[in-house]
Chain A
Amino acid sequence: MRRVIEGSHAVAEAVRLARVQVTSAYPITPQTHIVEILSEYCEKGALKARFLRMESEHSCLAALIGAQLMGVRTFTATSSQGLAYMHELLHWAAGARLPIVMAEVNRALAPGWNIWTDQTDSLSQRDTGWIQLYCEDGQEVLDSTLLAFRLAETVNLPVMVVLDAFYLSHTYEPVDIPTEEEADRFLPPYAPRFRMDTAEPCSFGALVPPGDYMEMRHDMALAMEDALMQLVEIEGEFTRIFGRRHGPIEAIDCNDAEIILVTSGTITSTARLVVRTLRERGEKIGLLKIRLFRPFPAAILRETIGRAKKVAVIDRNCSFGAGGIFAQELRAALCNLDPRPLIYGYIAGLGGRDVTPEVIEEIYRRTQSTDRPEAEGVWIGLREAL
């Protein structure tokens, strides 16, 4: 049934439908609504989970690592400094091959203290071994969260479902909420092959010498690579049950496009409007949305946008000294193509600054009117002096 709910609520609904058994919580804006709703569900019995109030985000993930090892389905949510504080255990959760699901509400890192959206928090965790899905609207938030459990448990890697602060987390819009029966058909109970069990004792997280460590890491790399095909396959089943598909990427008007915009998160939604308007005026513009960031869908991207003349990447994030992170990843994915498009990197919307249709059109015009990219990352909409 379609109901008007908040992005945070869409996460919580998916967690309820996934019949999560343990959830841990530490408040941080703008993620707090997610765990507030979950605590209500646990109190009312709508979700039969242990709700653990922890003393820090580091402990939140530590608790889930322990719980998941016991063979139960787990979930937590965080943002920004909270995610940074979890960093060590992000590696641990992935290395231990635990299919934990986390919602990460993008919030700028401090200082300056800022609660608004910015992707640098989640993108700076790109090498931890977590699958990352970036969401565009409330429906995709619910669908991605539900799918995340199935995907995580298929490849034994944790999944981070990423959503923009406020533009998504605090925005109410109609979202189709599946029934429990539908969700159960899609997501069977968690049944891990290995778990902590005194009847069948085995050791977890033990010392691994050089003779074995590399093979374990190679297994992890293979699992991560496999996640792309698994996502496509699982989403096929998702589509059969729920009638919706979001894909690892989505290409809009890319076939004959001379300039393709690349976006993620809610900027994609606004960019759809810009592309629609400019197409009506005869401009050869396309739009490519990246939903799956880890594993990076390089082969599909080469196939989809490799023939364009110019690609303009809008990054709501920054890796200092290297520019926007999606732009870097895309350059690496396309560099061995010949011919290959020019990659223009733009940094916009940091710390919650609005990315309006005008900002997106400015990026398009700037790409159109320059023969070569002006810099690794061109900052858009800066005020002249502070």
Chain B
Amino acid sequence: MLELRFHGRGGQGTVVATILMAKAFFRAGFEVQSFPFFGVERRGAPVEAYVRLDKGKILLRTNVTAPDHVVVQDRTLLQSIDVTKGLKQRGWILMNSPSPPEEAARFSSFRVAFVNANRIALGQGLGTRTHPIVNTAMIGAFARLLEMPPLEAVAEAIREEIPAHADANIRAAEEAYRTVCL
């Protein structure tokens, strides 16, 4: 079983990112589970959400405390949250960042990747300059890290979950897949 944890802020589509990820992995033949850590969310407040995937039925119904990989949709979270909490050794930390994150030194027991999801989202007209919607770029980049789920599965999941802006979101996912720095 693989467990993923997504960190973001209320309004960035963090929960939707995990739903898309679950749907994409399901289309790729996995059993899946995704759920948010539900608190008293407001716009801008830290949000966590999770994905589990496995070959067989997933029985575990608890919070994810020891993820295999983490996705950080907003770099400023690093000031207030330990995104590596419980993260398995050699796990990926995928950051939304225009350049190699300064914090990378702190993450030496993990693998760090970064993608300029803000720029990609704005380029596709997703969100506003102050509030880019980065979730589809982040899952596109993540699909590159594990070489799964396939981009076609990501695109189908986007079409199912966000039909209104599917094309722009699919383009964002594809661009992030191509440009993520490992």
Contacts and interface: CB of A to CB of B under 8 A. Distances in A.
Interface in B22-36: 22-23, 26, 31-36
Contacts of B31: 173-174
A269 B32 contact: no
B63 A172 contact: no
Given A269-B61, A272-B59, A174 B38 contact: no
B59 A170 contact: no
A166 B38 contact: yes
A166 B35 contact: yes
B33 A173 contact: yes
Contacts of A168: 61
Given A172-B22, A174-B26, A354 B35 contact: no
A333 B62 CA distance: 30
A186 interface: no
Nearest to B27: A4
A290 to B, nearest CB: 17
Interface in A159-217: 166-168, 170-174
A116 B38 contact: yes
B60 interface: yes
Contacts of A120: none
A63 to B, nearest CB: 29
Given A30-B38, A115-B38, A173-B58, A354 B63 contact: yes
Contact residues of A: prevailing secondary structure: loop
Interface string A353-386: 0111100000000000000000000000000000
A370 B59 CA distance: 29
Contacts of A4: 19, 22-23, 26, 32, 34
Most A C-beta atoms less than 10 A away, residue of B38, B58, B61: B61
B179 to A, nearest CB: 28
- How many chain A residues sit at the interface, stated as a range, is 20 to 34
A355 B22 CA distance: 23
A270 B60 CA distance: 5
Interface in A269-297: 269-270, 272-273
B60 A172 contact: no
Contacts of B60: 269-270, 273, 357
B19 A172 contact: yes
Query: Which of B19, B31, B40, B59 has the most chain A CB atoms closer than 10 A to its own CB?
Result: B59
Contact of B32 (A166, A172, A356): A172
Contacts of B32: 4, 172-174
A174 B26 CA distance: 8
A168 B34 CA distance: 10
Interface in B101-149: none
Interface string B21-57: 0110010000111111010100000000000000000
Interface of A: 4, 30, 115-116, 137, 166-168, 170-174, 266-267, 269-270, 272-273, 354-357
List the 4 closest pairs (A to B, CB-CB), nearest first.
Answer: A171-B35, A266-B61, A172-B34, A269-B61
